[in-house]
Structure formats: C-alpha cells, structure tokens
Amino acid sequence: MKTNHYSEIVSPTPGRLTGPMTRLRCWLLGGLGVLAGLAAGPAWADAPEPSVLVCGGAMMNGDQFSDSVLPVFRQHYAGVKRIVLVLHATLPAERDQMEIRLQRAFAHLGGIPAESLHRYDAAGQRALLERADGIFVGGGETFVLLAELYRTGQLELIRARVRAGVPYSGTSAGANVAGLLIGTTNDFPVADIPTRTSLGIFPAVINPHHPLPEANGDFNGRAGKIKIYLQFNPTETVMALGNASIARLHAGRVTVEAGHCWLYRSTGVRALLPGDAVPELTP
C-alpha cells in the first residue's frame, strides 16, 4: 500500500527517529544485524559476483547523470528492468522532487523505470526491494540513512539482494553505507545509530567528496583527517572519492571508473585514476 505520510519514518526534527520505542526497536534490530553479520562474515567476501558502484557525489547535471559518469552507470545497470530508489538520507520534504530527478535520469540512461521506497508502507517497501533488479541509494545524511536501514530491517535485505547479484550503486551517503562501516563520512551524527557497521558490500571504508589537489588547503585538511583516523584504526582501508568520481567492484575486482580517487592505508596513500585496478581491495 502506498503512503506519503512520513511521520512513521522521521520526527519533525530532521534526522531524528521518533519516540523511545522506535529508538529501542532500532537498537534491537541493529544488534541483531551485527550478530548476524559477525556470524556470516563480511557480505562482500562470500558474494558470488557482487556488482557495486560507489560515487563520491555531484554526479548529476540537472535531471541527468553528468557526461563523465553516464557511460559507467549505463554499463553498470545494463539489462536492469526496474530500479528501486532508497532516499532515506534525503529530507522528507525533498524526496518527491529527488525521485522525479532520478526517474528522469534513469529514463535518459536507458528507459529504466525507477521508484522510491518512500511511496510505500513497510510491507510495500520490502516488496519493492525484493522484486527490483537494480538498487540506487542516494545522498544526504549518512547517519539518518543507516539508522533507517537498521530500523526497517532493510540493511539485511539489501545486502542479501546484492549478494544474489543485483547491481547496487550509491552516491555520497549511499556510497558510505556500501562500505564495511561508516567511519569517514564528513557528516554530523544527526541521528542515533546502533552501530557503525554498514552494508559491507564494498571492501573499504568510504570517504566521499574528497577535495582535489588544486584546492590545496581543503585537500591537505581532508588527507590529514583521514590519516589521523587510520592512526586510531590501522587495520582499515579508506577509499576516498572526489566529486563525480566512481570506483566499482565487479567480477571480483575493484577498478576506478571515473574521476579521481585515493586509497588510504596506515602505511601510506596512493592516488588513483580512471582505469586503475585496486588489487589491495581484492577479496
């Protein structure tokens, strides 16, 4: 059943889940999700051939994908008949318009119908996720997005669908939650989350909107923050993505498909350009 009523999803204060019982349910679902994830191991490690595209953001030119990323999206979603849009990270008042923009973008991409979860109640959202053969997760507030994925149980469902071979793409916040956990998000924690553990369908921690070297101060500031993060988390790997930059996990390997990316590890950083393979992220 469709609904446009958002009060079941967020409170009047953007990014906050409503009520103590809702928050308790979120934490309980999150705890169960973490236990399941620990039992099963990282989702990307045992997927047959997951196809996951992560974008650093700013991928749109009006109501179309920009020329630099259009060929990558077209290849990624080749053969897909129906896209589900996960727009939890977008402010509720802006979801209708974002859905329209993305519907036009996917129509331009190849005439692929796209529909947002926010049009449906809980049962309808689950049914849409189960029958769509392509998933797109939009940008916005990462903490709101991850909290909602746990609250609804959609985190495990999306993970399972990607494991089954359904192509996934996420931009900005949608890229953040594709990683092993949210650790370098650039976001304020505007919503409570049960855990930083996320979908785990891309074998790194993601940092979107990474400045280019030409913006010297911004570039050095971001690089410094990521390096400090890795001093506290030396076993992790951070894939940083500039705007309109894309990395893709496909056929068991990670490659840079567009723009500028950087691979940060506790031992150093490596700049990446389109066409570069990233063997450090091979399962």
Q: Which of 187, 210, 245, 260 is catalytic?
A: 187
Q: Within a 10 A sphere around the Cβ of 105, how many other Cβ atoms?
A: 23
C-beta of residue 163 within 8 angstroms of C-beta of residue 36: no
CA distances from 128 to 83, 121, 125, 132, 142 (A): 9, 10, 5, 6, 22
C-beta of residue 278 within 8 angstroms of C-beta of residue 255: yes
C-beta of residue 154 within 8 angstroms of C-beta of residue 129: yes
Name residue 4's amino acid: N
Q: Which of 76, 88, 118, 209 is catalytic?
A: 209
Quickly list DSSP for 151-196.
HHTHHHHHHHHHHTT--EEEETHHHHTTSSB-SS------S--S-S
Residue 187 annotated among the catalytic residues of the structure: yes
Distance CA 42, CA 28 (A): 20
Q: Which of 172, 198, 210, 260 is catalytic?
A: 172
Name residue 224's amino acid: G
Token pair 């991928």: residue = 59
Quickly list DSSP for 38-63.
HHH--GGGG-SS--EEEE-S--EETT
Name residue 72's amino acid: V
Distance CA 136, CA 144 (A): 16
Catalytically active residues are 172, 187, 209
